[in-house]
Amino acid sequence: MKITAIRCRNLTGLLASDGPFWEERLGRPIDVYPEFRAEGEQQLEMVRAGLYRTRSTFLEIDTDSGVTGLWGPLGEELGRLIVSSLAHVLIGRDPRANELLWDLVYRASVHGRKGTTVMALSAVDNALWDIRGKWAGAPVYRLLGGATREQIPAYASMLGYAVEPEQAAARAAEFKARGYRAQKWFFRAVPADGPEGIRRNVALVRAVREAIGPDDELMLDCWMSWDLRYARTMAEQIAEYHPRWIEEPTLPDKYDTCAEIRRAVPFPVANGEHEYTRWGFLKLLQAGAQDVIQPDVSWAGGLSEAIKIAALASAYDVEVIPHGHQTHTNAHFLASQPPALCPWLEYLDKWNTIHQFFIKDKLVPVNGFVVPPQSPGIGIELDGDAIESEEVFS
């Protein structure tokens, strides 16, 4: 079996929403600057009331056996990087040789050891796993070692929902009623918002905790926007609400600062969504910067690398709970790993409405659990009825 062609498909479709799709955004590192702090949430392009235009890119890899690997969505810029700079390394190679192909692309891209190049490599790796599963006639989790459980508990990741206390409490109660026993909420206020911002953040935590009760898990995402002093101040205010963790309290390269925050706060710290490859995660683990690592299987190097990252984490007794960018791929990874090491799947409710818009068989938690796809490969097929128009490039 040989790889014969690599192409990307830019898809456009119309997404329906009862109201504004994005209700609120999260606080960002760049919000230290007033002109950026004043920005609202970037909205989808509205076609008319309740109807938005959405776009996604999917990668296809053909083989001479007739098996085509499909993976996405990925950013268009990643797709163009793949076809312009990575494809020549792959054409003519056996797609089943995952270690060889990963190493070839990595060695051919030494100036792209993090960021967009590794994200592009991740897309390629995941599409190749789709080929291997289809070739073997088995879901990918079986090729990764077999299932450790029949279903995976999911936590609701609430990015994009309003964070005003009354609205957040109502939404949190709604998701609890759907069967979720864990939720993650995103802070809007950042250190530059001062004491008033702290009060708003604390009000959000209080409202959600009261809505979900004392026994459900509550995670809180800082999205790289805090520092050590602010983390200490916030910890004093929210410790009584028993967060399961605070996430990404500082910028990704500040390993030592994150480790200091972990030592300073009385609850766990999660980190690693914006880290890449086993070597990046080894630095995090060696620094003792977190209790939970969160590699994104779509960004950190693909399924091949996620397995290595999980093995590293197990040696450090640190949980692995991947960032929830691509639910089908994450479900295969998690299904193959021990539950004690990888206990949850993150389900980004609003983002997955977008990310799965063009996917025929959507993977959505039911009563707070996800069942891994059972079809050969990763289990994604494009829904022709959702496609308004498309552009193919190779």
Which residues touch 200 (CB under 8 Å, ≥6 apart)? 163, 188, 189, 193
Of these residues, 274, 323, 328, 332, which one is catalytic? 323
Identify the three-state secondary structure at position 37: helix
Find where tokens 């995952």 sit.
98
The phi and psi torsions of 48 (rounded to 5 degrees) equal -160, 175
Q: Strand, coil or helix: what is 285? A: helix
- The question of whether 323 is a catalytic residue gets the answer yes
Tell the residue number behind the tokens 């050891």, with chain if given. 113
Give the long-range contacts of residues 315-319, CB within 8 A, separation 24 or more: 316/285, 318/285, 318/290, 318/291, 318/292, 318/293, 319/291, 319/292, 319/293, 319/343
In the block, tokens 């390269």 appear at 253
What Rg do the C-alpha atoms of the chain give, in angstroms?
21
Nearest CA-CA partner of 26 in 350, 368, 362: 350
At residue 152, the 3 state secondary structure works out as strand
The residues annotated as belonging to the active site are 323
